[in-house]
Amino acid sequence: MQAPLSGVTVVALEQAVAAPFATRQLADLGARVIKVERPGGGDFARDYDGRVKGLSAYFVWVNRGKESVVLDLKTPADRSLLDRLIDRADVFVQNLGPGAAERLGLGCDVLRARDPRLITCDLSGYGTAGPYRDEKAYDLLVQCETGLVSLTGSADSMARPGISVADIAGGMYAFSGILTALYERERTGTGTALSVALFDALAEWMGHPYFAEAYGGPPLARSGARHPSISPYGPYRCGDGTRVFLSVQNDREWVALCERVLLRPALVRDPRFADNPLRHAHDGELTAVLEECFAAHTADGVLALLGEAGIAHARLRTVAEFAAHPQLAARDRWRDFASPAGPLRGLLPPVVVAGREAAMGAVPALGEHTEAIRAEFTRPRAPEGDPAGGTHAVRTRQEGLGGPRA
């Protein structure tokens, strides 16, 4: 079955995580993604580490299924080739430093004046205006500026979340924006200029802390692995020294926990724990009660009791234990894909479409496709409607989503 974005060409002048994460989602849906890299090293994320058979774990994660072309945009020949790539593209994505795209003549206004059907997507740290527009915006720095780090960690110490949440947020909003623009173009025939700031993306995710405090509530406190406003919700020690996680979301579940797991029905009427705000206010006392009851059981025993009572629960797994998770194996979520270091194993994308499986293309070596792309995009474009021409532009016209081109 044809992939949903078959026939769509994306040219990406990208680096690091946010923009590559967005374009990898497009590649997973069948788009042709041409990644333009700089001479002498390419995307600097290639050098973040060497944990994946000598390859960067970040780069492997966000660059599957792309073609890599190395261009020196300071030379007229390579700058001209980039123009030809964009002229045949449906989407152009860039996350260069502030103002760099405009200095290169690659601003959205210039590109869309040349081709009104082109969709452009600019990712930046803080947007194109305001006092922070020229600031460097690496993931952790954006987390700090949005207040996320102030909420993460224990009462005594702040902590960075374990993944690059600002980059992921920005990349996913760019991805959904591009899909929306492709859908809109099908109806209007006109492309769109999109922009996504990592600061804005993560600011959206800070909605709950903002509303919880902005209208008179006390600031949320760092709560480690516990929930900042719901109790009981977090890790609890069992008799074998390990911890289980559980969550009680409403009073019905609280009754079930007291009566069927703790075997202490009188707790339901304890004035300290009568509703969630009270339970949260007395979280330390409630934790002592739960751990006293759990002391007679192993973690497996507690999890079994929680399951029988319908109380949400989880094991605290390491990354290695996550990789061996029985749910992933039972649902056949792992696939092999190619890389310059040989076959690698990764997870299928989260959206499951009946009767169709996402493309799991290879991770490209630096400049692996440069010569092939030079040859393809220096040939004269075939006349419109000539199927023998074989150019992507002609295929796009025939296949729908990408064309016709202006």
- pLDDT value at position 214? 92
Preceding omega of 235 cis (within 30 degrees of 0): no
Look at residue 35 and tell me if it is in a domain: yes
Among the listed residues 171, 91, 102, 158, the one whose alpha carbon sits nearest the alpha carbon of residue 133: 102
Those residues whose C-beta lies under 8 Å from the C-beta of residue 274, and which sit 6 or more positions away, are: none
Strands 312-315 and 344-347: unpaired
Q: For 311-338, what is the mean pLDDT? A: 95
CATH code, 285: 3.30.1540.10
- pLDDT value at position 380? 67
Among the listed residues 193, 169, 172, the one whose alpha carbon sits nearest the alpha carbon of residue 181: 193
If asked whether residues 307 and 344 sit together in one domain, one would say no
Does the pLDDT value for residue 207 go beyond 50? yes
Look at residue 326 and tell me if it is in a domain: no
Does the pLDDT value for residue 8 go beyond 90? yes
What is the per-residue pLDDT across 373-388, written as a single tens digit (0 to 9) for each? Answer: 999 998 766 555 443 3
If asked whether residues 245 and 115 sit together in one domain, one would say no
Burial code (b: 16+ CB inside 10 Å, e: under 16) for 256-289 equals: bbbeebbeeeebeebeebeebeebbebbeebbeb
What is the per-residue pLDDT across 99-137, written as a single tens digit (0 to 9) for each? Answer: 899 999 999 999 999 999 999 999 999 998 999 999 988
If asked whether residues 269 and 364 sit together in one domain, one would say no
Strands (E) in 7-90, as ranges, are 9-13, 32-37, 66-70
Range of the domain at 39: 9-205+332-399
Look at residue 246 and tell me if it is in a domain: yes
Which residues are catalytically annotated?
227
If asked whether residues 54 and 114 sit together in one domain, one would say yes
Percent of the chain residues topping a pLDDT of 70: 93
Q: Which tokens go with 39?
A: 């001479």
Look at residue 325 and tell me if it is in a domain: no
What is the per-residue pLDDT across 274-304, written as a single tens digit (0 to 9) for each? Answer: 999 999 999 999 999 999 999 999 999 999 9
Look at residue 309 and tell me if it is in a domain: yes
Those residues whose C-beta lies under 8 Å from the C-beta of residue 397, and which sit 6 or more positions away, are: 384, 385, 403, 404, 405
**Total of domains in the chain:** 2
Which of 286, 315, 344 is a domain's end point? 315
If asked whether residues 253 and 338 sit together in one domain, one would say no
If asked whether residues 309 and 351 sit together in one domain, one would say no
Cα–Cα distances (Å) from 227 to 13, 197, 257, 313, in that order, read 40, 28, 18, 14
What type of residue sits at position 170?
G
What is the per-residue pLDDT across 33-76, written as a single tens digit (0 to 9) for each? Answer: 999 999 999 999 999 999 999 999 999 999 999 999 999 999 99
If asked whether residues 62 and 174 sit together in one domain, one would say yes
Look at residue 139 and tell me if it is in a domain: yes
Q: For 11-27, what is the mean pLDDT? A: 97
Strands (E) in 248-351, as ranges, are 312-315, 334-337, 344-347
Q: For 159-182, what is the mean pLDDT? A: 96
Does the pLDDT value for residue 402 go beyond 70? no
If asked whether residues 126 and 29 sit together in one domain, one would say yes
What type of residue sits at position 242?
T
- pLDDT value at position 328? 96
Distance CA 326, CA 321 (A): 9
Look at residue 212 and tell me if it is in a domain: no
Q: For 139-166, what is the mean pLDDT? A: 93
Does the pLDDT value for residue 355 go beyond 80? yes
Helix spans in 189-275 (H): 198-205, 207-214, 251-256
- pLDDT value at position 383? 56
Which of 315, 345, 375 is a domain's end point? 315
Q: For 82-98, what is the mean pLDDT? A: 96
What DSSP character marks residue 161? -
If asked whether residues 301 and 388 sit together in one domain, one would say no
CATH code, 175: 3.40.50.10540
Does the pLDDT value for residue 250 go beyond 60? yes
Element (H, E) at 165: helix 165-188
If asked whether residues 299 and 352 sit together in one domain, one would say no
- pLDDT value at position 389? 37
Strands 233-237 and 243-247: antiparallel
Element (H, E) at 178: helix 165-188
How many Cα atoms are found within 13 Å in the side-chain-facing hemisphere of 194? 29
If asked whether residues 170 and 275 sit together in one domain, one would say no
Cβ atoms of residues 233 and 311 within 8 Å: no
Look at residue 3 and tell me if it is in a domain: no
Cα–Cα distances (Å) from 60 to 26, 102, 117, 243, in that order, read 16, 29, 31, 33
- pLDDT value at position 224? 85
Q: For 185-190, what is the mean pLDDT? A: 96
If asked whether residues 281 and 366 sit together in one domain, one would say no
